Chains A and B, each alone.
Chain A
Amino acid sequence: MKLSRRDFFGAAGVGAAGAVALGAGSWAAGRDAEPATATAAAGQDAVEFHGDRQAGIVTPAQDRLHFVSFDVITDDRDALVRLLQDWTTAARRMTRGQDAGPVGAVQGNEYAPPDDTGEALGLPPAGLTLTIGFGPTLFRTADGTDRFGLADRQPAALVELPAFAGDLIDPTISGGDLCIQACADDPQVAVHAVRNLARIGVGLVSVRWSQLGFGRTSSTSSDQVTPRNLFGFKDGTDNLKAEQPATLDRFVWVSGTESWMDGGSYLVSRKIRMLVEVWDRQNLRDQQQTIGRTKGSGAPLGQRGEFDPVDFTTQVEGDVAVPPTSHVFLAHPTNSGTAILRRGYSFVDGSDGLGRLDAGLFFLCYQSDPETGFVQVQRNLRTDKLNEYVQHTSSAVFACPPGVTGDDDWWGSGLFG
């Protein structure tokens, strides 16, 4: 549940994070000096960084995203390992609502650049999660070079995605050796985290591309209200949820590979431009027939409530209620034969110079194997009526390792260890 700004100030005295962040001494103390602990992200509290799984996957989806993909520009394996360790330390601090570095944004030597950039001073942890992933090119460059001695550790499942019909992929905003997904309930907290990690990585990594997202387009917990995407429809009603551990184990988490990826998950990102101006002039009936749900309640066509099961046999006036070319029909596990955990965000990147909003969905999904996850679903969408209104413009796949288990552990310890 998102708290409004007024709610936030009203609730300031409740959480340790809010109290410290808003107190009179907050500037002198930097950001929260003590880790705030909370079991659930409530808009401002901290989400535990440590765990068997990385946070930011089944964590109830926060409202804001800053996603960044890096190229590694050093060939020095030891330098890369040190960076991953430094990043882990900074990530551990920032997810607790602390400055990125131990000195802080305003406490250090006047003649030295601060070890935190400062724009999150006074802000709570805001449910920040930082999730790392390793791209196929980290293991083997496009021309086959094994820069870091990792080629024999590349999982079979971590391969570039195939081309799909209708793709309009821009390679400059696709792929990458490393990614960081920063999700938070305050956009400035997410941007602060990515900016500081990029700053720490200077000379070793180079930002390849980055994407801001607002408005989660999926629920990942049954506690969350289903949000709407930029087509105006509820999105993610039938998404996998944190409360379905057995289903997650089957479709999201990697297991049984006896490799460093057990306990991890594969992330697919797709930037999907929505031709909203075209969509907006379609009549309501066509919009609903395209999606397969009613625009108001989100109920599957032919049903009454949002969470009524989709029934592909229900008929209305002699036709099947959910058209076989609708998005829900084709994407639904019943017809795609698989399931993925969606975690996407809406974006509006200004305008495109043709009088149109550059708007869409930055689609993120997690699965135990991209081939039987996203690839299988996407192939099934060949005849999706929604394709008339969307264009996929960027694509990437990353292997997200299991979680950082404690203070001595670090991102990639299993891979590099």
Chain B
Amino acid sequence: MYARKTSLVAAGAASLALLAACGGGSSAGGSGSEASDDIAVSATDTTCDVDATELDAGTHQFTVTNTGSSTTEFYLYAEGDRIMGEVENIAPGVARTLLVELPAGEYQAACKPGMVGDGIRNALTVTGESQQLSDDEQLQTAVEDYTRYVGSQTTALREQTQAFVDAVNAGDVATAQGLYQVARTYFERIEPVAESFGDLDPRIDARENDVEEGGTWTGFHVLERDLWQTGDLSASGPVADQLMTDVDDLVTRVQTLELQPLDLANGALGLLDEIASSKITGEEERYSRTDLWDFQANLDGSQTAIASLRPVIAEADPDLAAALDSAFAATQADLAQFASGDGFLLYTELTTEQLQGLSDSINALAAQVSQVPAVVAG
């Protein structure tokens, strides 16, 4: 998608190679600055205790310890769920750190056990110096924020794909089934980025009918078929290994990714279009029926891209910013009706009426998001 859209707004391209200098891949801004503190976050399956409610402006370190039984994530959100920093893929028993620079403002620290939903949230007030950014600086910050998000997602994608591939190679159907949607979540959140590398997206994510006659079908969905339809992994090894190679390739290529502000806006709409065209119809996960996991991942990715741009939108068109906030919240709530355990109901468990409700919801949201590119383009 990014490859196909021409970007006219040149303000603030950023690449991960530059941001990587900040260290950690999942840490925000504040290059070179050291954190003066280390705030403990204790995450379980039902709680999220943050050892601070007020902070001074500046760079802070959070250490998130997962004592629950589900893999969790930790996010620091500014207004409109703009992500200031996040740590993905915190396995049970593991502690991970986040280094993030926070200007004065109201924030929310959230743990997301099971990686779905709004998360368990804690208010966090930061006092002191506030930022006054020019329009170009705001756009540049948006691109940097979102590029950092892409980096952390692809890092988690590689880790989770490796675990999934290992399970396939071990012939462990149950474990591989459990890991399949976890790995895919990280892919689906940033799918437009993968699409920008023309050949990679089809290699990783093609459905059987996407492949030309005589072509070779590879990627996640081949293994999905093997896991859910045939239950036979005897010939799956080479496919799994190729998937790992392709995901590694994606992670490498993302290092030099240069995004434009308009890419964020178009990508956000593209993710919703993905939901509207292939998730709501049940085409994507035709064997596992886990389409609603993809729905959530696409929605998260879209919301993150829009939230990165939120200060720009709020300044240019406050009504649109408010409408986007409520439309994303409404669709999240509509989807949450079908949450089940750590995930969702299967596609086949929803009635036609319920699917139509989700379709209406996503179309209403997309109508708002479709207004954003013109705002960003000024």
Contacts of B200-240 to chain A: CB distance below 8 A = none
Partner pick for A110 among B364, B370, B377, CB 8 A cutoff: B377
Residue A4, interface by CB 8 Å: no
- Determine if A112 is an interface residue (Cβ-Cβ < 8 Å): yes
A41 to chain B, nearest CB (A): 33
What is the distance, in angstroms, from A176's C-beta to the closest C-beta of chain B? 13
Give the residue of B262, B357, B363, B374 whose beta carbon is less than 8 angstroms from that of A109. Answer: B374
Q: Which of B356, B364, B365, B374 contacts A111 (CB 8 A)?
A: B374
Instruction: Specify which of B356, B360, B363, B371 is in contact with A112 (CB 8 Å cutoff).
Output: B371
CB-CB nearest in chain B for A172: B352
Do residues B364 and A202 form an inter-chain contact, with CB atoms below 8 A? yes
Bound together, the chains give a CA A113 to CA B360 distance in angstroms of 19
B360 engages A203 (CB within 8 Å): yes
The 8 A CB mask of A65-91 against B (1 = contact, 0 = none) is 000000001000000000000000000
Hey, which chain A residues are within 8 Å of B364, CB to CB? 202-204
Scoring B residues 342 to 378 as 1 if CB is less than 8 Å from chain A, else 0, what string do you get? 0000000000100011011001110100110110110
Quick one: closest B residue to A113, CB to CB? B370
Q: How far is the CA of A203 from the CA of B363 in the complex (A)?
A: 7
Chain A, Cβ-Cβ closest to B266: A111
Q: A111 near B376 (CB under 8 angstroms)?
A: yes
* Chain B residues, CB < 8 A from A211: none
Question: Which residue of chain B has its CB nearest to the CB of A110?
Answer: B377
| B371 near A202: Cβ-Cβ < 8 Å | no
Point out the residue from A109, A110, A203, A206 that lies within 8 Å of B367, measured CB to CB. Answer: A203
Expressed in whole angstroms, the Cα–Cα distance for A203 and B366 within the complex equals 9
The reply to whether B262 and A111 form a contact with Cβ atoms under 8 Å apart is: yes
Quote the shortest CB–CB distance from A73 to chain B (angstroms). Answer: 5
Given contacts A202-B367, A203-B367, contact A111 B360 (CB under 8 A): no
Q: Which B residues lie within 8 Å of A202 (CB)? A: 363-364, 367
Smallest CB–CB gap between A34 and chain B, Å?
A: 29
Cα separation A113 to B373 with both chains bound (whole Å): 9
Q: Chain A: which residue is nearest B323 at the CB level?
A: A203
Q: From A200, which residue of chain B is reached at the shortest CB distance? A: B367
Residues 316-361 of B at the A interface (beta carbon under 8 Å)? 327, 352, 356-357, 359-360
**Chain B residues closer than 8 Å to A113, beta-carbon distance:** 370-371
The interface bits of chain A over 92-134 (1 if a CB of B lies within 8 angstroms of the residue's CB, else 0) are 0000000000000000011111000000000000000000000
Chain B nearest Cβ from A93, distance in angstroms? 20
- Choose from A110, A204, A206 the contact partner of B356 (Cβ within 8 Å): A206
Interface size class of A (residues with CB under 8 A): 10 to 19
A111 touches B363 (CB 8 A): no
A109 and B262 CA atoms in complex are apart in Å by 14
Complex Cα gap A111–B266 (Å): 10
In the complex with contacts A73-B360, A203-B360, A206-B356, A112-B367 CB distance below 8 A: no
Q: Report the separation of the CA atoms of residues A248 and B106 in the bound assembly, to the nearest whole angstrom.
A: 66
Task: Decide: A111 near B367, CB < 8 A? Known: A73-B360, A206-B360.
Answer: no
CB-defined contacts of B377 to chain A, threshold 8 Å:
109-111
Tell me how far the C-beta of A172 lies from the nearest C-beta in chain B, rounded to whole angstroms: 8
A122 to chain B, nearest CB (A): 25
Task: Give the chain A neighbours of B365 by CB distance below 8 A.
Answer: 203
Chain A: which residue is nearest B373 at the CB level? Answer: A111
What chain B residues lie within 8 Å of A172 (beta carbons)? 352
**Most chain B CB within a 10 A radius of its CB, from A73, A109, A111, A113:** A111
**Cα–Cα distance between A410 and B348 once the two chains are bound (Å):** 43
CA distance A204 to B370 in the complex (A): 17
Residues of A within 8 A of B373 (CB): 111-112
CA of A203 to CA of B361, assembled, Å? 7
Smallest Cβ-Cβ distance to B377: which chain A residue: A111
Tell me the minimal C-beta distance from B340 to chain A in angstroms.
Answer: 24
Minimum distance in angstroms from B363 CB to a CB of chain A:
5
Q: What's the least CB distance linking A160 to chain B, in Å?
A: 19
Assembled-state Cα–Cα distance A73/B334 (Å)? 13
Q: How far is the CB of A112 from chain B (nearest CB, A)?
A: 4
Distance (whole angstroms) from the CB of B360 to the closest CB of chain A: 5
Most interface-central of B262, B327, B364, B377 (chain A CB within 10 A): B364
In this complex, the member of B352, B357, B360, B367 whose beta carbon has the largest number of chain A beta carbons within 10 angstroms is: B360
Once the chains are docked, how many angstroms separate the CA of A203 from the CA of B352? 18
Residues of chain B touching chain A, judged by Cβ–Cβ distance below 8 Å, are 262, 327, 352, 356-357, 359-360, 363-365, 367, 370-371, 373-374, 376-377
Selected A-B contacts with CB under 8 Å, 22 pairs: A73-B357, A73-B360, A109-B374, A110-B377, A111-B262, A111-B373, A111-B376, A112-B370, A112-B371, A112-B373, A112-B374, A113-B370, A113-B371, A172-B352, A202-B367, A203-B360, A203-B363, A203-B364, A203-B365, A206-B356, A206-B359, A206-B360
Q: For the complex of A and B, list the 6 residue pairs with the smallest distance between their C-beta atoms, beginning with the closest.
A: A203-B364, A112-B374, A111-B377, A111-B374, A111-B373, A206-B360
Apart from A112-B374, A203-B365, what 11 extra A-B contacts exist at CB < 8 Å?
A: A73-B357, A109-B374, A111-B262, A113-B371, A172-B352, A202-B364, A203-B327, A203-B360, A204-B364, A206-B359, A206-B360
